[in-house]
Each structure stands twice: as C-alpha cells, then as structure tokens.
Amino acid sequence: MRKLTKKRPSLRALTLPGLSFVLAMFFGALLIAFSDSTVLKHIGHPITFIKSAGVAIWQSYLALFEGSVYNPSLAKPHDALLSWYPLSETLVTAAPLILAGLSVALAFRAGLFNIGAQGQFIFGSIAASYVGFAFHMPIGIHVVFAVLAAIIAGAIWGGLVGLLKARTGSHEVIVTIMLNYVALYFLMWLLGTTRFLRPGRRDPISPDVLPSARMPHLAGDNYRVNLGIFVALAAAAFVWWLLSRSTWGFRFRAVGANAAAAKTAGISVPFVMTTVMAISGGLAGLGGAVHVLGSDFSLTSGTAGNFGFDAITVALLGRAKPMGVVFASLLFGALRAGGGTMQANTNTPIDIVLVIQALVVLFIAAPAVVKWVFRLKNLKTTGDLTAKGWNG
C-alpha cells in the first residue's frame, strides 16, 4: 500500500522532467544545426561552423518563444499589451490538451492505458458541434448543452472500451488503437452527409457553431483565449479531488496498483474499469468541446489534430498527476503555438516539436539515461511506468 500513501511534494519531483526537457531541447538543437544547409556549408571550419550553428539554433528557439509567450514586435502604439498575444495562443492550445491529458492520466492511475483519447476527442467534438450548429438555444444554456453532449459522447466511446475490457478481457490498448481509426472514418463519413456538410461547400467542413454556443472570450475579441482554459483547470481540480479525496478515486488507484488485491478487498474491478474509462472518455470528449466551441467553431476531418496523441506524452511528462498534466500541457501548448511562428519565421519546421516531445517522454521513462548524462547520484532510476504487456 506504500504507493497509495501521499508523498510530500518537493522540488525533486521536478528534477527528472526538467532535465529530460533540457536534454530533449539539446537533441532538438543538434537536429536544427545539422539539417541547416547554411550551417553545413561551414562544416570544414569549426569556428564558423559553431557560430552559424549557434545562430540557427538561437533564432529557432527565439522564434519558438516569441510565438508562444511574448513578442515585443506585435505591440501597437495604442495597445502595448498585444505583445502578449502569443501567450493567449498558448492557452488556447493548452486547454483541450489539458483535458485530453487528464483523460489519459486518470486511466493511467487506474492501471489502464488509454490510447483512445483521440477517438473520444473526435466524438466529443462531433457532439459539441452538432448541438452547437443544429439547435437554437438561449446564450449560456446553449454552451452548457453542447458541452454536456460532448462529455456524454466521449464517455460512451470510452466507457465501451472499459466495458469490453471488464467483460471480455480484451486489452484496452488494442481496442483503443482500432477505435481511433473507426472514430476518424466515422467523422469523415459524417462530414459527407447533408446534415453535417456546410451548405454551399463540397469539401468536408461542417457549419460554424452558432455564436450562442461559443465559449466566451476572456480578454476581449483581439485574443482567442476563452473560457475553455478555466474549464480545463476546473477539470484538473476535479480529477485531483476524485483521485486523492474521494472513495471512488481510492478504488481506482487500488485497482491500478494491484487489481488482484483490490478484488480481494471487495472492490468490483469490472465496475472500476468501466467507470474510469467512461470518465476518461468524458474528459477527452470535453476537450473536443473546448476545442470546437472555443477556437475552431467548425468540424473538419482534421479537427482532433494531434490532441489525443499529444495527450499521452502530456500525461507521461506530467507523471499522471493533475497538476503535472496542467504544466506539461502548458509547455507542449507553448511548443505547438510557438512552432507555427518558428516555421513561418525561420526555416525550422514545426515538426521538431514532435521530436522534442518524444525525447522528453523517452528520457522520463528511462531515468537511467538522464542520470548518466547529468552525473546525478540520488535520482531514482526506476521509472514509474511499469511494464505490463498484452496479458497484463
């Protein structure tokens, strides 16, 4: 039961994620330098080579920062605050990511690996946008209904996985990988039907959600940041409460720590599996709602983007803790938002973000690497991602 007792949070919890991030940024920098043609021209002259590599890396990472936090050149004489516009973009990207990340993290704590956040996100965005554009309701109530529809749709799609696992023992990873594709093709089919296709358009795009169903802006119409970020933070608080303050959460964690022991203790494992996956699915579905009602407004085949998959890296980086997920999402949200600017202003493609994400998670999963690189003595070397496999 040692795992279930609460540990005192300390700065040392941040050592591994922090160092992993530094190491990942370092490899990212190498990739930038060694794929740049102007840098490679100087490969025969070590000093100019290092200098030009430094310039390329500095420019890329500066653009990344300017695209995600603060860019002084955006300020206008009458509105100096506009230089913080990128921060608003970071929050817009982070909000759905937090929710999808919480979905993966919650399942993790109950010993389930929810790769299906992508599919649940898709179903959430379908439900939210359908309620958003097809029904007329008073402002305020409309948003609530659209959000509820998304939560229910995601919860059904996710709960199905838990039910199948509980009833038949089928591995949730296999089922969720497959259901992600089913959800995507379902969305693509839906966008070809008259009910979902925007009038006058032939390319697959749905009508915009009505203004009454949109998440209100938080800082005026110049910034896209909206209520979604508060919804996400509230959800994080809810998941924290659920996991560490409620009886259900205790059962979830007990099943996650040792399903056989939990069963002996009288906890219904099938019930926990189904409930956890339903709540997880609901969170991812809510992420879809925040994305569609907060910033995208319409449904396309690419609506879910990479949210469901980034969610997994976010949950791993945040070590499946709600607060960790929030910070990890802000970080990856910033990388995503800044990556766009970086790609536009320098010749470093946004895809470096994927490389950095993958490396961060890899280093966190294998602390031995970080320990060796930074010559740390008392960093614990066993990761908290215990191996299980198909029959586990």
Applying CB under 8 A, does 79 fall inside the site for another protein? no
End-to-end CA distance of the chain: 20
From the CB of 143, what's the least distance to another protein, in Å? 30
Applying CB under 8 A, does 388 fall inside the site for another protein? yes
- Sequence-distant (6+) residues with CB within 8 A of 88 are 219, 223, 224, 225
- Gap between the Cα atoms of 78 and 160, Å rounded: 54
From the CB of 366, what's the least distance to another protein, in Å? 5
Nearer to another protein, 255 or 360 (CB): 360
Nearer to another protein, 16 or 242 (CB): 16
Applying CB under 8 A, does 170 fall inside the site for another protein? yes
Q: Cα torsion at 236, 241, 242, 243 (round to 10°)?
A: 90
Among 186, 248, 250, 271, which residue sits at the site for another protein (rule: CB under 8 A)? 186
- Gap between the Cα atoms of 366 and 383, Å rounded: 6
Applying CB under 8 A, does 26 fall inside the site for another protein? no
What stretches of 80-178 adopt beta strand conformation (E)? none
H-run or E-run covering 253? helix 247-257
Are the CB atoms for 156 and 274 separated by under 8 Å?
Answer: no
Stretch that binds another protein, among 50-58, 73-81, 162-170, 288-296 (CB under 8 A): 162-170
From the CB of 327, what's the least distance to another protein, in Å? 19
- Amino acid identity, position 362: L
- Sequence-distant (6+) residues with CB within 8 A of 66 are 73, 86, 338, 341, 345
From the CB of 272, what's the least distance to another protein, in Å? 19
From the CB of 384, what's the least distance to another protein, in Å? 10
Applying CB under 8 A, does 205 fall inside the site for another protein? no
Nearer to another protein, 264 or 386 (CB): 386
Site string for another protein, 262-291 (x = CB under 8 A): ------------------------------
Site string for another protein, 301-340 (x = CB under 8 A): --------x--xx--x------------------------
Residues 110-129 that bind another protein (CB under 8 A): 113, 115
- Amino acid identity, position 82: L
Stretch that binds another protein, among 1-9, 143-151, 172-180, 267-275 (CB under 8 A): 172-180
**DSSP labels, 314-372:** HHHHTTT-HHHHHHHHHHHHHHHHHHHHHHHHSS--TTHHHHHHHHHHHHHH-HHHHHH
Residues 30-69 that bind another protein (CB under 8 A): 31, 35-37
**DSSP labels, 82-104:** GGGHHHHHHHHHHHHHHHHHHHH
Site size with another protein, rule: CB under 8 A: 56
Applying CB under 8 A, does 189 fall inside the site for another protein? yes
From the CB of 329, what's the least distance to another protein, in Å? 16
Residues 342-381 that bind another protein (CB under 8 A): 343, 347-349, 351-359, 361-362, 365-366, 368
From the CB of 71, what's the least distance to another protein, in Å? 23
Q: Cα torsion at 8, 10, 16, 21 (round to 10°)?
A: 130
Applying CB under 8 A, does 1 fall inside the site for another protein? no
The b/e string for 215-240 (b: 16+ C-beta within 10 A; e otherwise) is beeeeeeebbbbbbbebbeebbebbb
H-run or E-run covering 251? helix 247-257
Name the site residues for another protein (rule: CB under 8 A). Answer: 31, 35-37, 113, 115, 164, 167-171, 173-175, 177-179, 181-182, 185-186, 188-189, 192, 309, 312-313, 316, 343, 347-349, 351-359, 361-362, 365-366, 368, 383, 385-392
